[in-house]
């Protein structure tokens, strides 16, 4: 008979459950919105990266424009590299909320984030001007409304990238200067 069976007040010995691995912590706490934004950036870039891939193989994705006669040796590597670089830069934005991003000198992160944010914000302005045909800019014609809607939603998600990078860079700057 065990000791626990003889003494009902005695609790059986339990092995302590392993504690979860400590999550990496930055010097100062990161706002929750910044964490969520940094995690969402690669997901915002993914649709436009996937949208681009058929162009490399000569598919027009519903655009009503004459087909370009470019070699696949040129278009496929170009479009693939552009998509991979876009996704890589979106993943690197996690450095604005992770400890490994704090090991880089702050001026490098702020300068790079500001330049990238301003550049992509300028792309957002250009997207708004062409999508809504403001300032005399016109969008490419599409075969039907479904292709237009798909292109607008896909590129519309991607243009949020610039302002979100600016917001993350500003949060990083405030956190590092506080």
Angle at which helix 32-56 crosses helix 145-159, to 10 degrees, equals 140
- CB 44 within 8 Å of CB 161: yes
Tell me how far CA of residue 32 lies from CA of 20, 41, 107, 110, 168, in angstroms: 20, 15, 23, 20, 11
Task: Give the residue-averaged pLDDT of 89-118.
Answer: 78
Q: What is the pLDDT of residues 18-56, one digit of tens each?
A: 443 344 677 788 899 999 999 999 999 899 999 999 988
Token pair listed for 84: 């991979």
pLDDT average, residue stretch 128-141: 66
Give the pLDDT of residue 14: 54
Strands (E), the chain: none
Where in the chain are the domains? Answer: 30-59+67-177
């Amino acid at each position: 008979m065990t000791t626990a069976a003889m003494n009902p007040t005695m609790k059986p010995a339990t092995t302590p459950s392993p504690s979860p691995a400590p999550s990496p912590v930055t010097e100062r706490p990161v706002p929750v919105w910044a964490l969520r934004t940094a995690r969402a950036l690669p997901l915002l870039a993914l649709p436009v990266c996937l949208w681009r891939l058929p162009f490399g193989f000569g598919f027009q994705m519903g655009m009503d424009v004459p087909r370009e006669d470019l070699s696949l040796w040129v278009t496929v590597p170009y479009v693939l590299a552009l998509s991979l670089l876009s996704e890589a830069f979106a993943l690197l934005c996690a450095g604005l909320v992770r400890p490994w991003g704090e090991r880089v000198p702050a001026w490098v992160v702020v300068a790079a984030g500001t330049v990238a944010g301003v550049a992509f914000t300028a792309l957002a302005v250009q997207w708004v001007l062409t999508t809504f045909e403001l300032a005399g800019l016109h969008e490419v014609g599409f075969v039907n409304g479904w292709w237009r809607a798909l292109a607008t939603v896909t590129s519309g998600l991607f243009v949020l990238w610039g302002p979100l990078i600016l917001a993350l860079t500003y949060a990083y700057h405030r956190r590092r200067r506080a």
